[in-house]
């Protein structure tokens, strides 16, 4: 919604087409432009097909890699499939999606790629070896592609959210929330709008001299 308000034609891409259609409907109701495409970030074939459809709609100038799943568990007992699935979707999927947009961005000598990392990709977190590794890897990917694409006018940055007020955090016990808030200098959870505004800035012309950067949006919980 935030990028649509900034004048961008948004492609809502997810495995859940109901979510895609609801997002598109909300954007169009608000006067923006949007389309929905189904994509499975664990499948190279699905990623290729989805971007082929997106390119039929128009030139892809901005890519926001925000797919992410968790399969938490202590490393000692983590199943190989839980490791592989999280790495495949959170990191490999982002890499494959990035590959799809680079040729056009290089040709046009303009592009914005924003990867949604996580505070735990910098701080670490017990019980999330797979998720932490995927997000730390995403930060490394951001810096590598930024160096490769800088001379072509393509910026590549990451946003590292802290704890955000979503359905996932809403179910946390009160004592867990209190402990979280005690670790956050701003004394509140972030909002989805906090993250969206950071993404919008990194996609703007005003951020044209920023690349390879990880923007922490975490209320100060990790510095």
pLDDT at 131: 97
Burial-class residue 75 by CB neighbours within 10 Å (0-12, 13-18, 19+).
exposed
Binning the chain into helix, strand and coil, the percentages to the nearest 5 are 55, 15, 30
Q: Burial letters for 207-222: b for 16+ Cβ neighbours within 10 Å, e otherwise?
A: beeebbbbbbbbbebe
Q: Say which residues have a Cβ less than 8 Å from residue 146's Cβ, sequence separation at least 6.
A: 155, 156, 157, 211, 212
Q: Which residues are catalytic?
A: 131
Output the pLDDT for position 166: 87
Number of neighbours of residue 120 by Cβ within 10 angstroms? 19
Do the beta carbons of residue 101 and residue 149 sit within 8 Å?
Answer: no
Alpha helices in 60-219 (DSSP H): 80-87, 93-108, 120-123, 129-149, 167-170, 174-182, 192-202
Average pLDDT over residues 174-192: 93
Model pLDDT, residue 167: 80
Whether 125 contacts 143, CB under 8 Å: no
Could you tell me the pTM of the whole model? 0.96
The whole-chain average pLDDT of the chain stands at 96
Per-residue confidence at 174, pLDDT binned at 50, 70, 90?
Answer: confident
CB atoms inside a 10 Å sphere around CB 184? 17
pLDDT of residue 65: 98
Please, which pLDDT band fits residue 173 given cuts at 50, 70 and 90? confident
pLDDT at site 192: 96
Q: Helix (H, G, I), strand (E, B), or coil: what is residue 161?
A: strand
C-alpha to C-alpha distances, 71 to 59, 67, 82, 94, 192, nearest whole angstrom: 35, 14, 6, 18, 22
Average pLDDT rounded to a whole number, residues 175-203: 95
Mean pLDDT to the nearest integer, 66-74: 95
Can you give the pLDDT at residue 87? Answer: 98
Report pLDDT for 168.
73
DSSP label of 26: H
pLDDT beyond 90 at 172: no
Q: How far is CA 9 from CA 29, 79, 173, in A?
A: 14, 40, 39
Residue 143 confidence (pLDDT): 98
CA distance 140 to 128: 18
For the domain 59-217, what is the CATH code? 3.40.50.720
pLDDT tens column, 6-41: 999 999 999 999 999 999 999 999 999 999 999 999
Mean pLDDT within 183-200: 97
What ranges do the domains of the chain cover? Answer: 59-217
Please write the tens of the pLDDT for every residue from 102-153: 999 999 999 999 999 999 999 999 999 999 999 999 999 999 999 999 999 9
């Amino acid at each position: 919604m935030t990028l649509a308000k900034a004048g961008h034609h948004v492609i809502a891409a997810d495995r859940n087409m109901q979510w895609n259609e609801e997002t598109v409907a909300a954007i169009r109701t608000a006067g923006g432009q949007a389309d929905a495409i189904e994509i499975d970030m664990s499948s190279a074939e699905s990623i290729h097909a989805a971007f082929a459809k997106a390119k039929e709609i128009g030139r892809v100038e901005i890519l926001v890699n925000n797919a992410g799943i968790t399969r938490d568990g202590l490393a000692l007992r983590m199943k190989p499939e839980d490791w592989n699935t999280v790495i495949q979707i959170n990191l490999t999927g982002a890499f494959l999606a990035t590959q799809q947009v680079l040729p056009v961005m290089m040709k046009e000598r303009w592009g914005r790629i924003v990867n949604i990392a996580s505070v735990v990709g910098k701080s670490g977190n017990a019980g999330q070896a797979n998720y932490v590794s995927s997000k730390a890897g995403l930060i490394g990917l951001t810096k590598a592609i930024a160096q490769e694409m800088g001379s072509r006018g393509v910026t590549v940055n990451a946003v590292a959210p802290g704890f955000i007020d979503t359905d996932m955090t809403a179910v946390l016990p009160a004592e867990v929330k209190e402990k979280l808030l005690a670790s956050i200098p701003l004394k509140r959870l972030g909002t989805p709008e906090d993250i969206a505004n950071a993404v919008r800035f990194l996609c703007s012309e005003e951020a044209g001299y920023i690349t390879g950067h990880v923007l922490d949006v975490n209320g100060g919980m990790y510095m």
